[in-house]
Amino acid sequence: MGIFQRLSDILKSNVNDLIDRAEDPEKMVKQIIIDMQKELNNSTQALGKAVASERIAKKQYDQAAAKSADWESKAKAAIAAGDEELAKKALANKVKADKDTAQYKEMYDTISQQTETIRTQVEVLKSKLEEAKSRQAMLIARSQMADTQKALANATGGFDSSSASEKFSRMEEKIERKEAEAQAFAVIVPDADAKQPLARRGGKKVQAQRL
C-alpha cells in the first residue's frame, strides 16, 4: 500500500506547483526526478508481481473450467451408457468444479483490474518523468537566471549614486583650491632675479662693461 499511496500522491501532484513553492527550485526539480525514478522502479516491480499473480489466477481459472467441462462430458457419457450412479457422481463433481471455476473467475477478474490500474499508473508516471527530465535543463537555467538577476538587483540597490557624486564634487573642489593656491603663490612670490638688490645688479652691469 505504501508504494501505491506514494505513487498516487506523485500522480496527483502538480510539478509546477511544487517548484513554485520551493525555496530552491533547482534542488526541487532534481529531487522530484529522483523521487519519480525511485517510485517508477518500485511500481514497475509491483507491476511485475501483479502480472505474475494475474497469470497464476488465469491458469487456475482455466484449469477449473476444464475440469468442469470434463465432468460434464463424463456425466453425459454415463447417462448414454445407462449408468445412473456414475452419472450422478459425475454431475456432483461438475457442480463442485463449477463453484471452483466461479471463485477462480472472480479472483482472476479482480487481479486483472488491479493489474490494469497499476499498469496505467506506471505509464502515467513514465510520461511525467520524461516530461520532468525534458524540462529539467530549462527550469534549472531559469532558476539560475533568476538568482543572477536578484544578485544584480541587490548590488545595484546597495549602490548610492548621490553619495558617489558628492565625493567626486568634494574631490574636484579640493583640486580647484590647490590650483588657485598655486596661481596665487606664483603671483605673490616675485621672480628670483627681481629679489636681488639694485647695487648688486649694478655691479654685475659694470663688470660686464669692463669685459
Q: What is the DSSP code string of the chain?
A: -HHHHHHHHHHHS-HHHHHHH-SSHHHHHHHHHHHHHHHHHHHHHHHHHHHHHHHHHHHHHHHHHHHHHHHHHHHHHHHHTT-HHHHHHHHHHHHHHHHHHHHHHHHHHHHHHHHHHHHHHHHHHHHHHHHHHHHHHHHHHHHHHHHHHHHHHHHHHT--HHHHHHHHHHHHHHHHHHHHHHHHHHHHSPPTGGGS-HHHHHHHHHHHHH-
pTM of the predicted model, to two decimals?
A: 0.54
Q: What is the mean pLDDT of residues 55-61?
A: 94
Going 44 to 113 to 125 to 39, the CA torsion angle's sign is negative
Higher-pLDDT residue of 18 and 198 is: 18
Give 145-192 pLDDT, tens digit per residue. 877 887 787 766 554 556 656 776 777 788 877 777 777 777 776 554
Query: In percent, how much of the chain has pLDDT > 70?
Result: 71
Query: What is the reported pLDDT for 19?
Result: 56
Query: What is the reported pLDDT for 1?
Result: 43
Residue 209 has pLDDT above 70, yes or no: no
Query: What is the reported pLDDT for 147?
Result: 78
Higher-pLDDT residue of 138 and 78 is: 78
Query: What is the reported pLDDT for 55?
Result: 94
CA nearest to 58, candidates 4, 115, 121, 1: 115
